[in-house]
Each structure stands twice: as structure tokens, then as C-alpha cells.
Chains A and B, each alone.
Chain A
């Protein structure tokens, strides 16, 4: 646990307290910005019916589905691009052309291709994670000092040994950083996709709640997204520390 773990909660607690105080004193409108106790009540009642957990579960399924598919395809492709100049010439221009297009811009095409429902959301989370993972992985391979490969060459190490003992661990910190960034963007993309093209999930909850003027549920949905995003980032950071014990993750 970090040294100042509990201290890091202090500003948040202060903010929540002031926010609640402003709401209770009448300085805030419950519609414009519902205060914490209203948000908690709305979240509790939504959770009691099981609907909140249903939405969270669907969002997670979509994020993990798209993210894992992206990791499965982008990691080997990134390794290939990092290792081979020929592969880099073939794939990298396309990667750098497609990478700046925000995932949200794919929504119209995703709806045309996959219809409404899960398809566009999976596609968007996939696209969102794919490019950060591929770019970080390729960069990770290229950041391995040339001297490491020279040592391996002098030792007459086989390609397979170089791949297992130098390329993978050498690129791992960057690969894991790519996973963290990709997961964060996937999480943002799923909410957007669910707001437009799905009938479940936290994005859908926010969208529907806005339609019926339940801003307390809108904020509850936003808080769930923030908390889950933070939780997974902490988990990924922990995983990175465990997998790269030789240096800072």
C-alpha cells in the first residue's frame, strides 16, 4: 500500500462534504447537480432491483470482450512491427492513419455493420484498445538497447531464446503500459457506444436517466464508471508491478 494511501482520500472526502453541504443548504438545485446523499439514494434503489448490477455487468462484458480481442491481435502485431522493418513498412502507415480517428467516429459505421446491441460496443472497445496496445508494444521492442541484441548475437543465442528472454521481457513494461492506456480508452468507448447503440450498460443507464430527467442516476452512473475505471487501473498497475519486478511499473 502506498505510503500516503489514506491521505489521498482526504481531498475527495472534503469535496464530498462541501458538495453535500452546498446541496443541503439549498445552494444547489437537485436537478442541476444532485448532491451525494441524493446520488447514493438513487444508486441504492437502482441497485436494490438488481438493475445497476445488470448494467455494470454488461458494460464489463463489452469492455473485457473488446479489450481481450484487441490484446490478442495487437500484441503479436506490435511485436512484429517492432522486430521487422518489413512488417513496419507494411503495417505502420495504416496504424498511424487509423490511430487518430476517435472510437466515437466509428459508431455510425459500427451500427451499419453490426446493427444495434452488443456488436457496435464490442467493436468500439476493440478499436479503442487496439491502437494503444500496438503502438506501445512496437515502441517497447524498439526501446530495447541494441547492445542486448549484440550480446545475444555474440552468444549465438537462438531466435526463440532471444524472443523469450530479451524481446518479451524487454518490451513488457511498455506492453503493460499500452494495456493500461488501452483499457482506459476502452472503458470510455463502451460508455459512448452504450449511450448510442445499446439497450443496457452504464452508458445506456446515463442516457435513459437523462431522458427521464433523473440526474441523480446520471451522476450515479458516472460515479460507477469512475470507480470501476480506477479499480481496474489499480489492478493493472499491481499486475505490472508483479510482472516487472526489476523496475518501476
Chain B
């Protein structure tokens, strides 16, 4: 299996008022094609920064970040994100949000509406196509965000703490549904969370940030203690 994303000795610092604030100092990892990489870490460890780097919204100050074997460039439809707050356009209906992604394409499908409905059907939202995001529950908004992202047919889907606003039971249920959905679409996923159990359960690989970052190539729930110990939080 080939690596879709490869980070080699990545350095990144946020510009502070007086001096740069280092976030990554020599981070290396790979994301295998068609796999789910969980990224877990405490608040402020650089999870969202990593997503911005993977989107191409930020540039590493040192090191190499490769996508499809070439240096990762400007943001593109090949790498889509579903933000923590979903970032759906509140003035567009559920279907309108998906259609926006379709019509942004260089070669949009002839029947935008039909294609949009087909995508909503995939996430179980076909009956809510005419509703505005404000009329959807948190979970439904999340699925609408995923449908919009999938409309771009990305090779890499980035999920930024997608269920942080939901309760534990609903999170567990949606996580299962999401895992099925992304595996069925054969999309490579980077899934950011601060929940260790979620990261270990959902990911084919796990990148643990905070302190000295390390990769778990075969994560399972027994490694939870090991991660907390790494953060000195046993």
C-alpha cells in the first residue's frame, strides 16, 4: 500500500508577539492510501494546525510535506475538510450546500440537483434536502458537511473533531456510521480528536501529538493507558 501523505521532519511555528511559538519540531508520519489516520492530542498540541498544513492553508517552515508523492501545494478539491462546527453555509439548504460543491468543479455534472440528492442519500439526508442548516440537528449537520466534502470526490478527507458537540452515545453511533461511509467511499481520512478511545477505535493508524509525537500503526483500545502515560496523565 502506498503513502498518500508523507510528512518528513516537519517544523512549524506560529508567529508570536515577541518570538515564534513552535508547534511542530521534526514531525514525521505517513497516511496510507484508503486508511484512516486518527490524530489525537490535548488542546493546543497542534491538531488544527496540522489540518491547515494538510489543506495547504499554511506552509511548513521546514521539512517536507508530500501529497501523492509531490510537495503539497495550494488548497484543492483533492483534500477536503469537515470542520468541527461544520461550516455549512447557513443561507443554503442542505441540498444547496452540496450543489455548491458540485458546481465549483471545473466540470460540474449536468444535473446538479440529481447528483446532490444522490450524495445526500448516501449520508441518509435525502428527506432533509430542503432544510436549512439551522433546522438540522448537530449530527445531521455533520452528515451534510460530509456529503458536501464527498461531492468534491477528494482523495483525502480531513475531519476536525467532527462530533465534539454531541453526547457520548450519539458520538459512538455516528462514529460507526462515519467509518462505514468513508470506508465505502474508499477515501483516505485524517480524523482529529481529543478523545483517546475514539482515536484508537476509529483509526487504522494513530498519530499521538503532545510531547514527542509518535505513531501507532495498529491502534487498539488497550493502548489508552500508554497514551495517557506519554502525556503524564495516568
* A→B interface (CB under 8 Å): 145, 147-148, 150-158, 161, 165-166, 169-170, 172, 244-247
Contacts and interface: CB of A to CB of B under 8 A. Distances in A.
Contacts of A169: 89, 91-92
Contacts of B76: 154, 156
Contacts of B91: 169-170, 172, 244, 246-247
5 contacts: A147-B87, A148-B89, A156-B104, A169-B91, A170-B91
Categorize the interface residue count of chain B: 20 to 34
B134 interface: yes
A157 B111 CA distance: 18
Contacts of B103: 161
A155 B152 contact: yes
Q: A151, A156, A169 — which one has the most chain B CB atoms within 10 A of its CB?
A: A151
A147 B90 contact: no
Contacts of A158: 104
B106 A156 contact: yes
B90 A155 contact: no
Interface in B101-116: 101, 103-106
A148 B148 CA distance: 12
A154 B100 contact: no
A244 B89 CA distance: 13
Q: B89, B101, B148 — which one has the most chain A CB atoms within 10 A of its CB?
A: B89
Contacts of B75: 150, 153-154, 156
Given A150-B55, A154-B55, A154-B76, A246 B104 contact: no
Contacts of B89: 148, 165-166, 169-170
